Every structure is written in C-alpha cells, then in structure tokens.
Amino acid sequence: MKDTILQVIGDPQFPEGEAWRRRRFQANEYIVREGDQDRIMYLVESGSLRVSGRVTLDDRRHIQPGLCDLGAGDLFGELSLFESHARTASVIAIEGGTLVEIDCRRLSRYLDERPELGYQVLKRLFHVLIDRLSQANERVEHLFAWGLKMHGIDRHL
C-alpha cells in the first residue's frame, strides 16, 4: 500500500499543502480520538503508534485496551476514503515520528481521474482490510475461548 500512496503524493497533480501534508508528532500525542469525524487517512513514515478502543466495564469503569501497534509504512483511517464517519478507535503515539495526512476527498477525486492507479490503491487497500479482519477474528476466537474457560463452560463441551 505504501508504494502506491507514495506514487500519489509524489505526483505534482496531488500537491503537498492542499491534498496532503507531512506532520510530526511526539510521544503520548493523540493523532485521532475515538468519536472524531473527518476525512483524513494517515501513512506512518516513522515512529510508532498504538490503536486503542474504549471499553466500559460492568461497574462503569473504562479501560482503553491496545488493539494493535503501527509503525513505518502502516496506514490507518483508510475507511475515510469512502465516507465520513466517527472514528472507532483512538491512535496515540508511543514514540515520536512523522506521518502523512491525506485528504480523502481529494484522493478520491484524484483516483477517479486515474482509474488504473485507483484500482491498484483499492486492491492494496483490500489486502490491508483483509489482514485486519483476520487479526480481529483471531482475537475474538481467543477471547471467546478465554471466556469459556474462565466461566468453566469449556469442560461441558
């Protein structure tokens, strides 16, 4: 995915400062917060980030478990390419670095005008989404198995 996005941001027809911009971030800085709404996609150039969700426990306490870590070459916020919606997770810097913020409205128009490149971007994007879905399925299976064991249900199966 990184190579096709680099091809896009390297094109003078997709100008820096208008269609995308480079951003530096520091450790512990929020990049996006769960619930934010925008049309920005991010490419991590350097540094490391943690994606986390907010979970409410039975006694109304909240925890923010890490869902995954991101590093150089990783992309997030890719669903913004298709529509504006509230962010489903927060992304927080573990260590400082840089990322590229891409305006998805501009990217969508740009790719519509270049269907061959658009196809390549979408094809790679599907691979990213498939990998994330597979990881999520695996995590759900492990949590389900853990829950069965913790409640003693596994011995009845």
pLDDT digits (tens, 9 = 90+) for 9-37: 999 999 999 999 999 999 999 999 999 99
Region of 89 on the Ramachandran plot (φ > 0 left; ψ -120 to 50 alpha; else beta): beta
Alpha helices in 26-114 (DSSP H): 104-113
| 121 has a pLDDT exceeding 60 | yes
* pTM recorded for the entire structure: 0.81
Cα 102 to Cα 43: distance, rounded to the nearest angstrom: 8
Note the pLDDT of residue 9.
92
- Residue 125's φ and ψ, nearest 5 degrees, are -65, -40
Cα 20 to Cα 65: distance, rounded to the nearest angstrom: 30
For residue 6, count other CB atoms closer than 10 A to its CB. Answer: 14
Note the pLDDT of residue 1.
59
23: Cα within 13 Å, side-chain hemisphere: 18
pLDDT digits (tens, 9 = 90+) for 125-149: 888 888 878 887 887 787 777 787 8
In degrees, to the nearest 5, what angle opens at C-alpha 34 toward C-alphas 77 and 107? Answer: 20
Q: What domains appear along the chain, each with residue ranges and CATH number?
A: 2-114 (2.60.120.10)
Cα 2 to Cα 23: distance, rounded to the nearest angstrom: 17
Instruction: State the greatest distance between any 2 C-alpha atoms of the chain, in Å, as a whole number.
Output: 64
Beta-bridged to residue 95, according to DSSP, are: 48
DSSP helix/strand/coil, 10: coil
What would you report as the CA-atom Rg of the chain, rounded to the nearest whole angstrom? 18
pLDDT digits (tens, 9 = 90+) for 61-71: 665 556 789 99
pLDDT digits (tens, 9 = 90+) for 30-57: 999 999 999 999 999 999 999 987 666 6
pLDDT digits (tens, 9 = 90+) for 83-104: 888 888 899 999 999 999 999 9
